[in-house]
Structure 1
Amino acid sequence: MNRRNFVKDNVILSGALGLGVTGLFAQNKRMGDHISMAPAQFNLKYAPHLGMFKASAGDDPIDQLNFMADMGFTAFEDNGMKGRSIELQRKMARTMENRGLSMGVFVAHEISWNKPNLTNGDISLREKFLKEIKESIEVAKRINAQWMTVVPGHVDLRLRKGYQTANVVESLKRACALLEPHGLTMVLEPLNFRDHPGLFLTDSPQAYEICKAVDSPSCKILFDIYHQQIQEGNLIPNIDASWEEIAYFQVGDNPGRKEPTTGEINYKNVFEHIHSKGYQGIVGMEHGNSRPGKDGEQAVIEAYKQSDSF
């Protein structure tokens, strides 16, 4: 549904019922005391997640999706989508289609945070990973998703890095053979050493090298600006250097991993830069809220308005 038509139709309906604008405002006030009637007009496709606007929208995932659309967001991401019931997945997909929300990433497989996964060449672990990719293909088709997140797992301290890289590349090539016929893309997410010590994939140049070795449109980079600020900094030059392999962005300010404007990253400049390069993809809001309740949720919306004002 077109948001402008939705608002227009509701204003007309309110007038027909004798409520007028005041009645519509009261209805919005019941939904949340700090909600603006006018949706934001963002330059980029920012994607909130479930729970980010829970105080304003309530517990129900469908109500939360509708709230996101009401606020002007045009995308949504859900790391835990694969674990939700098929009935809920379908219901969420219908809501996203009706409200013009593009589906962002979900996590495609079980991530090994404390032990090797794709790095050590274990055939049984590779087969488990490929089985999970097959399952995720069905989820992606069900929810109209294009991207899914992949993390190769922990380093194997008994193998030199080159061997581990070769093992990862081989597993990803086999996954691409499954994904390519469906036009789906796994995005590799480098994670920072502070929050996730011991993981194999940490840097954007490393992810770029792996994507080049895999050489498939189904294997690209998820450039999480929060992680890469901690891991390597030099954000805009590293984005430029990796650009042709980047398919997805996620954000969070540092320190704290909260909304833009709460930390050291100049998100207005970063957002303007990727927009100027013609980025048409999704920017996942993978962070917490700096303040609780409806006030904190409104602060998140205002932070994105401010950072997107270019």
Structure 2
Amino acid sequence: MKRRNFITAVAASSAGLVSTTSMAQMQQKDFALKNNLNHSVCQWCFNYLPLEEFLQVLNNLGIKAIDLIAPKDWPLLKKYDIHCSMCRCTEISLTDGWNDPKYHEKLIEDYKKTIPQVAEAGYTNLICFSGNRRGINDYVGLQNCVDGLSKIIPLAEKHGVVIQMELFNQIDHPDYMCDSSIWGVELCKRLGSDNFKLLFDIYHMQIQEGDIIRSIQNYHPYFGHYHTAGVPGRHEIDESQELYYPAIMKAILDTGFKGHVAQEFIVTWEDKIAALKDAFLRCDV
């Protein structure tokens, strides 16, 4: 067969193949993860889709976990066999947190209610926040967190639940107290429990302190969960941003980490699920 005729024949055959094979099937075939790390995703970044529809997308991709879901929606996760890798209380505030004693009564009530629910559902991680400073000294706020969290840690230990405080930057969350690895690690040390860890948000900590891989290497025993996003802008983790996620994921993997890494970026691509797939593949070291 002449080369031109061969190319024409192949093109015609390919066109016929595409017409009989759905694009979704082709994409699924190309999307194969090694799963050396446990992948997850924050639902709020894709809330243009109803939760049930998004869970169906995750099932199609073979992603078995999702972050930041409250108890009311856990039955829906069970329906699709999707694990809640980071739970949250029904009522929660990023600014009114454990660093201020005036919120302790309400926080203790909420967490004492939610911790047994997390365990009963078969989940492990439950998020918490330091709250804003509002003039509270960092050392005072640290001790306030110890005093308040100490009231719920025994219950978390009893039920095998890990309370995880997220680290934020001061650009997106001005005045938030838990804004450095060192402050968070000191809180972990003072509480002295394996049932309290830090949620290390890579995006936030790149903005706030940088040196991401060194922080992971130095403090990984205190990190129980990771979030991703591109810097600047909290968008996709592709070549448009300054972090190289394959190296970061390898550093996490090298620590022996067995928890979840959740995608938490604001999508700019027109095909939002394609952006999510791209992020999973970049992190699948």
Q: TM-score range by the shorter chain?
A: 0.7 to 0.9
Give the aligned partner of residue 48 of structure 1: 41
Give the counterpart of 2:202 among 210, 221, 225. Answer: 225
Aligned to 1:298: 274
- More displaced, 281-290 or 189-198? 281-290
1:161 to 116, 126, 138: 138
CA–CA distance in structure 1, aligned partners of residues 70 and 43 of structure 2: 10
Pairwise CA distance, 1:112: 4.7
Look up the match of 2:153: 176
Q: What letter matches 1:227 in structure 2?
A: H
Q: What code does the residue aligned with 1:81 have? A: A
Aligned residue number for residue 262 of structure 2:
284
- Structure 1 residues 69-115: Cα deviation after superposition (integer angstroms, max 9, x where no partner): 321323221x2424xx3xx421322322xxxx4321123352152xx
Separation of aligned partners in 1, 2:64 and 2:69: 19
Q: Offset of 1:142 from its aligned partner?
A: 5.0
Q: Distance in 1 between matches of 2:43 and 2:283?
A: 22
Alignment of 1:15-30 (within 5 A): 26=21, 28-29=22-23
Matches within 5 A, 1:181-196: 181-196=158-173
**Pair 1:110 & 2:92 matched:** yes
What is the letter of the counterpart of residue 145 of structure 2? V
Number of paired residues?
266
What root-mean-square deviation, in Å, do the aligned CA atoms of Structure 1 and Structure 2 show? Answer: 2.5
Q: What is the identity, as a one-letter code, of the residue corresponding to 1:141?
A: A
Closer, same or farther in 2 for the Cα pair 1:273/1:175, shift >3 Å?
A: same
Distance in 2 (CA, whole Å) between partners of 1:52 and 1:206 is 28
Between 217-226 and 299-308, the greater mean CA deviation after superposition: 299-308
Matched, 1:67 2:65: no
The alignment status of 1:248 with 2:225, answered yes or no, reads: yes
Match of 2:80?
95
CA distance in 2, matches of 1:258, 1:34: 26
**Alignment check: 8 A CA contact 1:40 1:73 kept:** no
Tell me if 1:266 matches 2:240.
no
Q: Deviations over 1:5-47 (max 9, x none)?
A: xxxxxxxxxxxxxxxxx79x74x54xx5873335421331121
Paired residues of 2:125 and 2:163 also in contact (CA < 8 A): yes
State the alpha-carbon separation in 1 of the partners of residues 175 and 211 from structure 2: 22
Partners of 1:121 and 1:51 in 2: CA distance: 29
Contact 1:119 1:156 in 2 (8 A): no
Q: 2:115 aligns with which of 106, 130, 137?
A: 137
Q: Cα–Cα, structure 1 residues 117 and 65, in superposed 2: closer, same or farther, change >3 Å?
A: closer
Q: For the residues of structure 2 that align with 1:177 and 1:51, how far apart are their CA atoms?
A: 31
Higher Rg of the two aligned structures: 2
Find out whether 1:120 has 2:106 as its counterpart: no
Per-residue CA distance 1:54-83 (angstroms, 9 max, x = gap):
78xxx4433322321321323221x2424x
1:150 counterpart = 2:128: yes
Letter of the 2:62 partner, please give it.
G
Provide the residue aligned with 2:8 in structure 1.
none
8 Å contact from structure 1 (residues 90, 142) kept in 2: no
The residue aligned with 1:18 is: none
3-state SS of 1:289 partner: coil
Change (3 A) 1:179 1:298: same
Contact preservation (8 Å) 2:42, 2:66: yes
Distance in 2 of aligned mates of 1:52 and 1:38: 24
Q: Per residue, is there more strand in 1 or in 2?
A: 2
Q: Of the candidates 163, 186, 196, which is equivalent to residue 209 of structure 1?
A: 186
Does the CA contact (< 8 Å) of 1:92 and 1:143 recur in 2?
A: no
Give the % identical residues.
22
SS of the residue corresponding to residue 36 of structure 2 reads coil
Note the C-alpha offset of 1:121. 2.5
Measure the CA separation in 2 of the matches of 1:279 and 1:185: 15
Letter in 1 for 2:32: A
* DSSP-derived class of the 2:152 partner: helix
Letter in 1 for 2:92: E
Alignment-mate amino acid for residue 277 of structure 2: I
CA distance in 1 between partners of 2:255 and 2:44 (Å): 31
Measured in 2, the distance between the counterparts of 1:230 and 1:43 equals 27
